[in-house]
Structure formats: structure tokens, C-alpha cells
């Protein structure tokens, strides 16, 4: 199976993890097939709250976040709340996050908790229980994680996610200017650090069908350096940066090449700035999705 087939191939059902729940990769494959390849971030930045006429406090946060969920959760494949922007409001902000995850699931959207957690031993195991543990109010369908204490440090998270049918997106190539200092450095074996992470992700997904549940985060704005990396990981490639951050069809093709079919583009401001009108949010999401479809098809 080629990378371009990842979200489209018909394959036998994968084995159940938690009874009644298919593995995340299979569920993502189905959601993208039904709703299209788009992830919308829920990023309640103070400036966006202000633009919506909302207060920068837990009340404004709740109106913003649940407004996005109510407008989009029944039509986009994935919603991705940015945890730091909830946590900055303390326990009341975390309570809003719990309601976001619950309401999004009830409307049929998959969720990715954009936590970017990374630690070792019992601390990593605690993060795993929080974000992919069965019964945790903070458990999303998947979580983002940082592997820069060593890929092996993620083992408690990877194992628990596999056991509960959830997914993990591992940071590999990020678009922040500081990223290349570490990500493009060469390992003793020769490949870049980012390539070693991509290879480790691919090893987690061996034999998975139709799509592995461990993905990688690769920024859509990383440029030609992205194309120098092998990205056929048999899992999804979460790609922030389209729209307001400057990436369009040309950038997606430049970075991902033949792996375009495994890409799940993610956008936030491109859609969120169309609020608070629910119709405005839906129209913006539909326009963005259409542009993404054309880009991934290579016709834009």
C-alpha cells in the first residue's frame, strides 16, 4: 500500500483494543473518509477571544471553545484543543476542556489533545493515564507528545494508547525556527534526529491496517528539509501550518511529496477568525477543506 492510499484503502478490520472501540488509526481512516481530511484547532488565544467579543477568563473561554464545538463537531473529522490555552485559566479552564472533549465526542468528531507532553518513567506513565487512560476526563482520541527525552521515554504512553484504542502524534519536524537545531542534527548512525523519530514511529505501525495509530507531527511550513525525510510511516502525518501560517498547496506538495495521502492538515486561525457566527465558522471550515482536498489531490 502506498502512502497516497492510507486514508482511502478498504482493509480488514483491526483487532479491538477496549471492547467496542476500534484502534485510533482505523477510526481516523473512517472519519477522514466520511468528513474529509481536516483537523481544526481550538486555540482560544486572548486576541481571538477579544475578536469574538469575549472576556479573557473561564467564562469567555467556555463560550469560545464550546461555540467551536457546536458549530463544527458534527462535520469536521478532527478537533484539536490546545491544552496550554485552557490550562492558563486554571482548574476552571481544565473543566472547560473536559466539556469540550465530551461534547465533541457526542457529536462524532475525533479529538486530539494538543499537549506535547514528554517525560520519563512514572511521570510519563501519569501523563499517559491522564490523556489516553480509560475513564480519564482528559482522555482524547489521541494526544501529541514530545520525544526529545528519547523516543523510548514515550513507551508508557504508546503502550497505554494501544491498549485503549487511542493514538499518539509524535513531534518530528516542527516549523518553529528553533526546531532545526535539534531536529536536523545528525545522529551517530547518520540520519537526522527527525528521521530517527519518523523511523521509530514507522516501527510502531508495522502490520497495522488500514492505518497505524501512531502518527508524526510535521509542519507544513518546514520547506525542502521536509522533503529530504522519509515519511512513509504507515500512520497519519498531522500537519499544522496551512492558512494563516502561510502554507498552501505548493508547500504541502513540497514537504510531503508522495506521502501526501497520509497527511491530515490542521488549521486554527484560518477557521476561528470567522467566528463567533456558527455559519461563519462552518463556511470557513468548508472552504478550507475544499482547498485541502485539491492540494492533497495535486490539482490546486
On whether the CB atoms of residues 145 and 173 are closer than 8 A, the answer is no
Tell me how far apart the terminal alpha carbons of the chain are, to the nearest angstrom: 24
**Catalytic (active site) residue 116:** yes
Q: Helix (H, G, I), strand (E, B), or coil: what is residue 82? A: strand
Which residue is catalytic, options 45, 103, 116, 253?
116
CA dist 145 and 22 (Å) reads 21
With residue 117 as reference, give the H or E element that holds it: strand 110-117
CA dist 251 and 223 (Å) reads 7
Could you say which DSSP state residue 189 is in? T
CA dist 96 and 157 (Å) reads 24
* Selection from 172, 161, 183 nearest residue 113 by Cα: 161
CA dist 260 and 296 (Å) reads 6
Identify the burial level of 24 via C-beta atoms within 10 angstroms of its C-beta, where 0-12 means exposed, 13-18 middle and 19 or more buried.
buried
Identify the burial level of 212 via C-beta atoms within 10 angstroms of its C-beta, where 0-12 means exposed, 13-18 middle and 19 or more buried.
buried
| Sequence-ordered alpha helix ranges (H) in the chain | 24-35, 46-51, 58-72, 84-87, 90-106, 121-132, 155-164, 179-183, 193-204, 224-227, 249-256, 269-272, 278-297
φ, ψ of residue 58 to 5 degrees: the values are -60, -30
Residues serving a catalytic function are: 116
Amino acid at each position: 500500500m502506498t502512502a497516497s492510499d492510507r486514508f482511502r484503502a478498504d482493509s480488514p478490520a483491526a483487532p479491538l483494543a477496549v471492547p467496542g472501540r476500534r484502534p485510533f488509526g482505523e477510526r481516523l481512516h473512517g472519519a477522514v473518509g466520511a468528513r474529509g481530511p481536516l483537523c481544526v484547532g481550538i486555540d482560544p488565544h486572548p486576541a481571538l477571544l477579544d475578536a469574538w467579543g469575549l472576556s479573557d477568563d473561564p467564562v469567555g473561554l467556555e463560550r469560545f471553545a464550546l461555540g467551536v464545538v457546536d458549530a463544527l463537531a458534527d462535520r469536521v473529522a478532527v478537533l484539536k484543543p490546545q491544552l496550554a490555552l485552557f490550562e492558563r485559566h486554571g482548574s476552571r479552564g481544565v473543566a472547560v476542556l473536559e466539556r469540550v472533549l465530551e461534547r465533541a465526542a457526542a457529536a462524532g468528531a475525533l479529538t486530539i489533545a494538543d499537549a506535547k507532553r514528554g517525560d520519563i518513567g512514572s511521570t510519563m506513565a501519569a501523563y499517559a493515564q491522564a490523556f489516553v487512560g480509560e475513564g480519564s476526563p482528559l482522555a482524547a482520541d489521541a494526544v501529541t507528545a514530545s520525544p526529545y527525552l528519547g523516543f523510548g521515554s514515550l513507551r508508557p504512553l504508546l503502550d497505554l494508547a494501544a491498549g485503549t484504542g487511542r493514538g499518539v502524534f509524535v513531534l518530528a519536524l516542527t516549523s518553529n525556527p528553533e526546531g532545526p537545531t535539534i531536529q536536523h542534527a545528525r545522529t551517530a548512525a547518520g540520519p537526522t534526529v527527525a528521521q530517527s523519530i519518523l523511523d521509530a514511529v514507522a516501527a510502531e505501525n508495522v502490520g497495522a491496517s488500514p492505518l497505524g495509530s501512531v502518527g508524526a507531527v510535521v509542519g507544513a511550513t518546514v520547506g525542502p528539509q521536509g522533503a529530504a525525510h522519509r515519511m512513509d510511516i504507515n500512520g497519519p502525518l498531522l500537519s499544522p501550518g496551512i492558512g494563516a501560517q502561510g502554507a498552501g498547496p505548493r508547500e504541502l506538495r513540497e514537504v510531503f511529496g508522495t506521502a501526501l495521502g497520509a497527511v491530515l492538515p490542521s488549521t486554527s486561525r484560518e477557521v476561528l477568525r470567522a467566528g463567533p457566527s456558527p455559519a461563519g465558522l462552518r463556511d470557513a471550515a468548508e472552504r478550507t477543506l475544499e482547498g485541502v482536498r485539491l492540494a492533497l489531490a495535486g490539482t490546486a
